[in-house]
Chains A and B, each alone.
Chain A
Amino acid sequence: MAASCHDADSVGTVLVGTPRVALVGSPNAGKTSVFNGLTGLHAKTGNYPGVTVSRFVGTCRVGEQKYLLEDLPGTYSLQPISPDEQITVDVLDGTLDGVPRPEALLVVVDATTLRRSLVLVAQALAKALPTCVIVTFTDELARRQGRLDLDRLEQALGVPVLRVVAHRGEGLPQLRERISHWATWSVPPIAPPTEPVELEAWAESILAFADYQVGEQNRVTQRIDAVLLHPLWGTLVFFTVMMLFFQTVFTVAAPLQGYVGTFFGWLASLVHQHIGIPWLSGLLGDAIIGGVGGVIVFVPQIMLLFLLIALLEGVGYMSRAAFLMDRVMARAGLEGRAFVALLSSVACAIPGIMATRTLPSAKDRIATMMAAPLMTCSARLPVYVLLIGILVNPSDRIGPFGTQGVIMFGLYLLGAVSAMLVAWAFKKIGDRHGLLMPFYMEMPPYRIPSLRSVLLAMWDSARSFLRKCSTIIVTTTVVLWLLLNLPLQPTSHLAAAGVDTRNDTAVSAYTVEHSFAADLGRAVSPVFNPLGFDWRINVGVLSAQAARETFVATLGQVASAQNREHPADALRAMTYTDGPRLGQKIFAPGTIAALLVFFVFALQCMATVGVMRRETGTWKWPAIAFSYMFVLAWVMAFLARAITLGLGG
């Protein structure tokens, strides 16, 4: 099967005798609500073979018969002007390898924007597939005292027309019934005109025949926009919303993550108590349970971020935020919608990278994905807190500000500015040939999203994260545990080496010092020596590959700190054990500056690598991201050290 080497194979499975129905519609037309209403939790996400276009396929059951529904990317037109839009058209034409042509078509249109949407309907009818038109938001049309005679619209279009208000479940049973008779849907005998002037006349005649009146303008939306898009108030509201966004993530998700951590710590301690064999209890308790915990610990944050994103999106605020920020993002060659992705990345790059799906252009998606991991995610915080704590006293001040806070702010700023520059660079490279996509973005009316659609959006994201990334995180954790704990140190061996075998801290420090990870740390010394890192820091950096915050505990272990989670004192005392810097303090300002900057730039997060692989459908982009970030991290860390030493640090 052609798609077998891609993630799409899970969604590309052809079930014999299962009719395929594709959903076409413009963004904001309610297409995804209809899709969710029909498929519920039975949808799968993947990628179209070889491209970074997300693919959504779900099954819908009517009686005994199953139907495969494909939610095509939202589009205003079936005359593609970008490679992404080409995918939609290729699917409809059956010319995409590994994706069979759908048997029938559902075209979703918003009743309140019918005047514009008939262009898309006309282009869909020209595909000459059995077609059914679904009219959504008829409740909103009625509220605005508009009119639309669906029977006459059906007559005029020559294909079945059905009213569905998905968020209230209205019309969904009838739609299922209709789907079971897809073979009877008519293919229009004469395709609508394609020439623009004729097409417009066709659309107007249809609307007149269907007695279409859109009613009054949406006053509520106008009043809200007058405030939310106001140069002063709008900007204030925008910053307040963004602050609340993070406040929620940090006050709600952080404690939840704490509980998850505590729970898995408790599980691990149970294992240690009940399994007498140290290597087995270590493997089970620290590597496997630790790995699973390392996956679950992401979940509260990801669920919450996606809940907030789905809410803001569903209400209609996301397009407003994108509108307000478009000019800023344009500086980096991106557009307003990319802001949302970069913003989420301040909490965690994973939802940020997943949020790039809303960008219409593949080049923008790639550029944003490459930049997202540079935004300061919350996993960097414990590392920053530890290192800054060693570097400066809490009481030091720069003017009215605490020095620690200023450094922290500087690191956030460095991340954000670098992200914009990197996005700009990738966009430049991506755009070096090919046309620029025009920017346009609909401003949908404010709507209250249904709880169901918000929860589904959240669930879908969390589930796709768990499915695709749990393996890579657990594997990384287990491999790192093995590296840090092998070869085994038998008690006799420890005793012979003069280690107090009753002192766990001493034992674990000895084990790490003679582990494969330590060999690796020493082997890569030539690379990291210029940054002032000794082999123990290298081991910490290596272990951070599972998740950045692991760096703290690993350093604690290597430095045989009494409290691994707070190893600052042990680290302060650490000195170089060999080489020309023998006896000097390792955690001197130069090394700390280099380490901090290294953590700003390096892609030390296998989960992010996994998500990039998933979203782009290839290893190429995660490989590029990992390499460029490593090189950047090394160079910048080197500069940071040189500058700090130059300043007499």
Chain B
Amino acid sequence: MTSGETRSLAELGAGRRARIVEIVASGSEATARRLGELGFTPGTMVEVVRRAPLRDPVVYRLKDYEICLRRAQAACIRTAEVV
């Protein structure tokens, strides 16, 4: 169902869907925890909805709602793309 390779959410283009594999804290436990509380938890499906005209931030759809993150935060989220 998923390919073996994981990519960060920041690398996915608009329209792509992926399953979250893990949240990499990268120095900020607080950020990782907050992303989890916002619904970015392992196993959750995320869809990349659209990029801002200036490329950043990006709107994601997960858990029935839409939220935008900057590249720095999206980079903490490892995903496996769903084909």
Could you tell me which A residues sit within 8 Å of B by CB distance? Answer: 76-77, 79, 81, 112-116, 119-120, 196-197, 200, 214, 225, 229-232, 234-235, 323-324, 326-328, 330, 336, 435-436, 438-443
Contact = CB atoms under 8 A, between A and B. Distances in A.
The dominant DSSP class at the A interface is helix
Interface string B30-51: 1101111111011100000110
Contacts of A119: 37, 39
Nearest to B31: A438
Given A76-B37, A76-B38, A323 B57 contact: yes
Given A81-B33, A435-B28, A436-B28, 11 more contacts: A81-B30, A112-B65, A214-B64, A225-B50, A229-B53, A327-B54, A330-B70, A438-B35, A438-B69, A438-B73, A439-B72
Contact of B70 (A116, A196, A326, A435): A326
A216 to B, nearest CB: 11
Contact of B55 (A79, A327, A438): A327
Contacts of A230: 53
A235 B53 CA distance: 8
B70 A439 contact: yes
Interface string B54-83: 111101000111111110110000000000
A232 B53 CA distance: 8
A439 B57 contact: yes
Nearest to A85: B34
B67 A323 contact: no
Contact of B69 (A200, A232, A439): A439
Contacts of A115: 39, 63-64
Contacts of A197: 41-42
23 contacts: A76-B38, A79-B33, A113-B63, A114-B64, A115-B39, A116-B39, A116-B63, A116-B64, A119-B39, A197-B41, A200-B41, A200-B43, A323-B59, A324-B54, A326-B52, A326-B54, A327-B52, A438-B30, A440-B69, A440-B73, A441-B68, A443-B67, A443-B68
Contacts of A439: 57, 69-70, 72-73
Given A328-B54, A438-B31, A323 B68 contact: yes
Nearest to B54: A327
A435 B26 CA distance: 13
B28 to A, nearest CB: 6
A440 B64 contact: no
A438 to B, nearest CB: 4
A447 to B, nearest CB: 14
Q: Most chain-A CB neighbours within 10 Å: which of B33, B63, B73?
A: B63
Interface of B: 28, 30-31, 33-39, 41-43, 49-50, 52-57, 59, 63-70, 72-73
B73 to A, nearest CB: 5
A441 B38 CA distance: 10
A229 B66 CA distance: 13
B52 A323 contact: yes
A324 B68 contact: no
B39 to A, nearest CB: 4
A68 B23 CA distance: 41
Contact of A116 (B59, B65, B68, B72): B65
A567 to B, nearest CB: 46
A438 B40 CA distance: 14
A141 to B, nearest CB: 10
Given A77-B34, A79-B37, A440 B55 contact: no
Nearest to B64: A214
Nearest to B41: A200
Contacts of B36: 196
Contacts of B53: 229-232, 234-235, 324
A47 B65 CA distance: 31
A440 B52 contact: no
A323 B55 CA distance: 11
A327 B35 CA distance: 20
Contact of B65 (A113, A324, A336, A436): A113
A196 B41 contact: yes
Given A440-B73, A443-B67, A435 B37 contact: no
A324 B67 contact: no
A443 B38 CA distance: 13
A324 B64 contact: no
A326 B57 contact: yes
A443 B34 contact: no
A328 B55 CA distance: 11
A330 B53 CA distance: 14
B54 A440 contact: no
B34 to A, nearest CB: 6
Contacts of B55: 327
Nearest to A231: B53
A324 B42 CA distance: 29
Contacts of B49: 225
Contacts of B43: 200
A39 B59 CA distance: 35
Nearest to A327: B54
A438 B55 CA distance: 18
Contacts of A229: 50, 52-53, 59
Nearest to A200: B41
A192 to B, nearest CB: 13
A326 to B, nearest CB: 5
A79 B49 CA distance: 28
A326 B56 contact: yes
A443 B59 contact: yes
A231 B49 CA distance: 13
A438 B69 CA distance: 8
Contacts of A231: 53
A324 B66 CA distance: 15
Contacts of B42: 197
A443 B66 contact: yes
A116 B67 CA distance: 11
A440 B67 contact: yes
Which 5 A-B pairs rank lowest in CB-CB distance, beginning with the nearest? Answer: A327-B54, A81-B30, A231-B53, A443-B66, A77-B37
